[in-house]
Structure 1
Amino acid sequence: MSMANRQQQLLAARRSATAIIGMGKTGQSVANYLLHRGISCEAFDEHAVELPASMQIQLHIGQLDADTLSQFERIIVSPGISWNHAALAAAREHGVPVHGDLELFEEHYQGDLIAITGTNGKTTTVSLIDTMLDTLAGGIEAGGNIGMPMLDLIADGDEPQRVVLELSSFQLERANPIHPRWAALLNVQPDHADMHENSDAYKAAKLRLFAGQGDGDKAMLPANGEWNALADDLRGRGVYVRRFGIGDSQELDAGVQQNDDGSWAVFWHHYEVAEFVTSSELPLQGQHQHLNLAVAAQAAADFGVSASVIRQSLTSFRGLPHRMQSLGLVAGREWFDDSKATNPDAARAALSAFHHVIWICGGLRKGLDVSVLKDAVTNHVEQMFIIGNDPKPYAELAYTAGVPASFVKTMDQAVKQAAHAQAGLPVLLSPAAASQDQFRDYVERGRVYAAEVKALEPKP
C-alpha cells in the first residue's frame, strides 16, 4: 500500500475517532471508557507519560498540532489543559467539538445527579452528601474532582442510582449544559487566574452548572444579593431555589444561626421544619466549614434522609485531610493542617475560626492578591512564618496588618520556629497559595507539615 493510501486510511479512521488531550488520571479514565465501548480514540500529551500496559491506544507525545487534532470527530480535554490552548482554539474554529469528560458523563448517565461547585468547600460538601445519601436504598457514588473520575462510575455499565459530582470551573466550561436534579453553588472567589481569561469568565464557568436545570429541579445559592438575579431566572424556569448563609432559619433554607445566648448552630429544613445542631457539637471547626455542612444537610433532607441520620452524620464528621484538620496537641499547643487553602479567601475563612493563632503561609500565589487578608490578619494572627519562593507579598501583608513575621522559606523551619512562638497559641498552616513552588501538590505539603509536627514529639 502506498504512503498516500495509508494517509487516506488514517484520515478516514480519524473522522470517526476521538482525540484525548492530557493522559493523566482523567485522560486515562476517558480512554478506558471509550475503548470499553469500542469507540476508536488516540491519546495526546505534551509531556512524557507512561500508560498502563493494558491500555491499547496510540499515544502521541509532544506539542499539540492543530492540523492533526482537526482531523478527529471530537476532542476530549483533561481539566489541567488550558481551554485556550492555540491548538484547541484552532480545532474549534475548524468545527471540531471540544469537550471534557463531563460531556461524556452527561450523555450517558440516566440516574439522579447531584452537582456541587464553588471555589472553596466542594470536597467537604460532596463527601458528607456521599456519606448521608449512602444510607438510602440504592446508595450513591461520588466522583469528579473527588476520588474516582466520573466516567469510572459508569464504565462497567452498572449505572448507580445516584451520583454526586464535585465539579470545577474547568469541567463545567468544557461541557454543554448538564442537568443536575440538585445543584449547589457554594461560593465564587478569585482563583485560577492563570487558567481563565478573567474573573468574569471564571464566574460564568461556575454558573453553567445551572444552565440546564428546569421544572422540578432544586438549586442551592448563597443568600447574598449577588445571586438574586440568578435565583429569579431559575424560578422562572420552574426550579425550586434554596438559599443558604449566615442568618435566620426563618428566612433561609440552610446555614448558620446565632442563638439568643450567643452560641451558634447549623440549621437546615426537613420539609418545612427547621432542624438544628449546635456548633459546639460539631468536630469540624470554622464557620465556613459549618456552612458546607448546612448545604450537605439540606441536600440529604431533600432526598429523604432522616433528620436523625443527618444529625448523627454532622456530629461525627471530623473533616477531610488537609482541610482544617487538627493534628492534636504537640509541644504544648494544637496544630491545624489547612494545606488545601490555596487562595486568600480560603485562608481568610480559616483564620477567622480562631481568636488568635500562629500562621504559616506562603507559596505559589497564582497572581492572587493576598493584601485582601489584612483585616483577618490584624484581628486573628499573632505571628506569621512565611514559606515559599515568593515571600514579599506576605511580608508586605504582615507590615500593613501590624503583625510580626519571619521569612523561614522551608516547612521544617516554619514548624520548628512556630513551636517556640507565644506559649499555648495554636498553629495554623493555611497558605493562601498553591504549593507547586516547593511541593508536588497541597497533599504533599500537608503531609510534610504533619511529619514536621510529629517530629516535635519527645522521643520515647
Structure 2
Amino acid sequence: MDLTGKTVLVVGSGISGVAATELLKKKNVNVVLFDGNKELDLTALREKHPVFADVKIILGELTAEDRSGLDLVVLSPGVPTDLPMVEDLKKDGIPIWGEIELACHFAKGRIVAITGTNGKTTTTALCGEIMANYYRDVKVVGNIGIPYTSVAADTTDETVTVAEISSFQLETIHTFHPAVSAILNITPDHLNRHHTMECYIKTKERIAENQTEDEVCVLNYEDEVLRAFGETLHTNVLYFSSRQKLDRGLYLDGEDIYYADGENTTKVINVNELNILGTHNYENVMAATGIALSLGVPMDKIVEVLKRFQAVEHRIEYVTEKRGVKFYNDSKGTNPDAAIKGICAMNRPTLLIGGGYDKQSEYDEWIESFGGKVKLLVLIGQTREKIAACARAHGFENIVLCDTFEEAIDTCYRNAVSGDAVLLSPACASWGMFKNYEERGRIFKEYVRALKED
C-alpha cells in the first residue's frame, strides 16, 4: 500500500503514537490522532509533543463521520484490538496496522525479532551488542523502549535492526517477516488481554508466520509448545536447550554451552565466564548466539560480547550491599514465571518483595519455587491478599502485608541479617502504584542506596 497522500488515523497519544505520527509526517502522509481520554488538554498535549501541532486531534469518541475518509488505522500496542471502536473500523473495511507493521513498511535492511513471555529484554540487549560488534549500522528497538517507528526512516539496506516484540504488537502484523525470529518461551501472561492461553500462544507464534524457507526461527527445545510449533514450520528452525544435547542447535552441558551444526560441535563459552546469573540467562545467551550465527556473525565476535555483557537494568540487577545484605532489583519480574527465574538466581537466604497489579495470574508455581530459600514474603499492591492466601495454602506463613513500597523495603531491611539478600521480584505488573516497572525499579534502587547502615 502506497501511503503517500493518504489519511491515517493514529490511535493513542503516548510514545508509540508520537513516533508513528513523526514517521508518517516524514513520509508525507496526512495524520489524524485519536485518544479515548476525553479529559486530555489539547494545548498541553501539543506543547509537550510539537509533532501534534498541526494534526487534527479527536478525543473521547470516534464517530462514523470521523471514520469516513480514513485509509488506514495505526493502533498503539496498549490499545486492545477487541474494543468496540476497533470493531467499527474493521466493519468499515479500514485496514488496521500496529507500530511494527507501519515501521517495517518503511524500513530497510534486515530485522531480528525476539519474543517470548520472559527473557526478551535481556536477549534483545545482548543480541544488539553482538550485532554491533560486527555490523556497522545496528538499531535496537521495540518493546525494549524505543519504538521501531522512531528509527525506520533512518534505516538503509545495510541496517540490522534487533527488535523486542510483545504479543500486543504481534496482534496487528500483516506482512512483517524478520530474517531471524526467536520465541524464547511461552508461559501464562497477559490473559486479561488475550483471555485464553490458546490465543496468547497463537499470537506469539505469529512472529514466524510470514518467514520464508531461507529465514530462521530460533526456539526453546524445552518448551513443549515451541518444540511442537517448530515441527510445523517450513522455515529453518534452530533449537536451544538447557537440559539435553542437540545434534543441531545450542545446548548447555554441565557448565559449558555448545553449538552443534549437524556435523561439528563447538564450545561457545563456560557459564562462569558470563556476568549474568541463572539457567534462564544461559538460555538467553544460547538464543542470542543462535540468532547471531544465523545472521552471519563469526563465533569469536559473539564470544567477545558474551564475556563482557552485564545484566540489563531491572532484571536481577545487583544494586548495593548494606550491613552484609545484598539488594537485587528484579522489577521486570512482572509475572510469576519471570519471578521464579529471580528466585532461582538467588544464592542467599532471601527476603522477597512481591505484589502489584492483578493480571489474573496464578501464583502457585511461584510460591512452590521458594524451596526454603525465601525467609520472608513482603506483599504490596492489589494482589497482596490473593498472593498471601496462595502462599498460606502452600504452607508458607512468614508473610507481611504493607501499604506502601517504602514500608515493604524497610520491613525487609529490618528483618535481614548479614548474608541475606533482599529481592524485588513482584510477579505482578506495576500499574496502579507506578507508571511502569522501570519507575518501580528506579525508586527501589534510590531508596535502597539511601538506607543507613547504623
Change (3 A) 1:223 1:252: farther
Range with bigger deviation, 217-226 or 75-84 = 217-226
- Residue 254, structure 1, aligned to residue 250, structure 2: yes
Seen in structure 2, the aligned counterparts of structure 1 residues 69 and 386 have a Cα distance that, compared at 3 Å, is same
Residue matched to 2:291: 299
Q: 1:428 aligns with which of 423, 427, 434?
A: 423
Question: In structure 1, which of residues 401, 406, 419 is the aligned counterpart of residue 400 of structure 2?
Answer: 406
Q: Do the aligned partners of 1:297 and 1:310 also contact (CA within 8 Å) in 2? A: yes
Which of 402-411 and 71-80 deviates more? 402-411
Correspondence for 1:309 among 295, 301, 307: 301
Contact 2:12 2:35 (C-alpha < 8 Å) held by counterparts: yes
Q: Which runs of 5+ in 2 are unaligned?
A: none
Cα separation, partners in 2 of 1:266 and 1:396, compared to 1, 3 Å = farther
* 1:22 corresponding residue in structure 2: 12
1:415: which partner in 2? 409
Aligned pair in 2 of structure 1 residues 275, 303: CA closer, same or farther (>3 Å)? Answer: farther
Corresponding position of 1:452: 447
Contact 2:21 2:51 in 1 (8 A): no
Q: 32-41 or 64-73: which moved more?
A: 64-73
Distance 1:211 1:250, change over 3 A: closer
Alignment-mate amino acid for residue 370 of structure 1:
Y
Residue 422 of structure 1, CA deviation? 4.5
Candidates 355, 364, 389, aligned match of 1:362: 355
**Residue aligning to 2:434:** 439
**CA distance 1:338–1:108, change in 2 (3 Å):** same
Residue 244 (structure 1) aligns with: 240
1:455: how far off? 1.8
Cα RMSD, aligned residues only: 2.2
Give the letter for the 1:421 counterpart: N
User: In 2, are the aligned partners of 1:66 and 1:88 still within 8 Å (CA)?
Assistant: no
1:389 and 1:409 in contact (8 A); partners too: no
Preserved CA contact (<8 Å) 1:255 1:295? no
| Inter-CA distance 53–170: structure 2 relative to 1 (3 Å threshold) | same
Amino acid of the structure 1 residue aligned with 2:313: P
Aligned match of 1:261: none
User: What whole-Å deviation, never above 9, does each CA across 1:9-39 have from its counterpart, x for those lacking one?
Assistant: xxxxxx9411111011111111111111111
Tell whether the 8 Å contact from 2:243 to 2:252 is kept in structure 1 after alignment. Answer: yes
Contact 1:22/1:43 (CA < 8 Å) preserved in 2? yes
Q: CA deviation at 1:158?
A: 4.7
Matches within 5 A, 1:30-429: 30-47=20-37, 48=40, 50-51=45-46, 52-55=49-52, 56-65=54-63, 67-156=65-154, 158=156, 160-224=158-222, 225-234=224-233, 237=234, 239-251=235-247, 253-258=249-254, 264-269=255-260, 272-355=264-347, 356-403=349-396, 404-423=398-417, 424-429=419-424
Shift in Å, 1:247:
2.3
CA distance in 2, matches of 1:257, 1:23: 48
Task: State the identity %.
Answer: 27
Quote the Cα distance in structure 1 between the aligned partners of 2:184 and 2:64: 37
Distance 2:267 2:285 in 1: 13
Is contact 1:266–1:291 with CA below 8 Å preserved after alignment? Answer: no
* CA shift for structure 1 position 70: 4.8
- Identify the residue that residue 11 of structure 1 maps to in structure 2: none
2:411 partner amino acid: Q
Residues 299-350 of structure 1 show CA distances to partners (whole Å, capped at 9, x for unaligned) of 2222333323322212211111111000132221111100011111100111
User: How big is each residue's C-alpha offset from its partner over 1:195-227, in whole Å with a ceiling of 9 and x where there is no partner?
Assistant: 223222111111111111122111111113323
Taking structure 2 as the reference length, the TM-score comes to 0.91
> CA shift at 1:66, angstroms?
5.0
8 A contact 1:371–1:393 mirrored in 2: no
The change in CA–CA distance for 1:411 and 1:267 in structure 2 (over 3 A counts) is farther
d(CA) in 2 for partners of 1:425 and 1:27? 44
Return 5+ residue gaps in structure 1 as ranges.
1-14, 259-263
Mapped contact 1:219–1:240 kept (Cα < 8 A):
yes
**1:268–1:274 Cα contact (<8 Å) kept:** yes
For 2:308 and 2:121, locate their aligned partners in 1 and report how far apart those are by CA, in whole Å.
Answer: 17
Change in 2 beyond 3 A, CA 1:378/1:28: same
User: CA shift at 1:160, angstroms?
Assistant: 5.0
Question: TM-score, normalised to structure 1's length?
Answer: 0.89
In structure 2, what is the Cα distance between the partners aligned to 1:138 and 1:316?
19
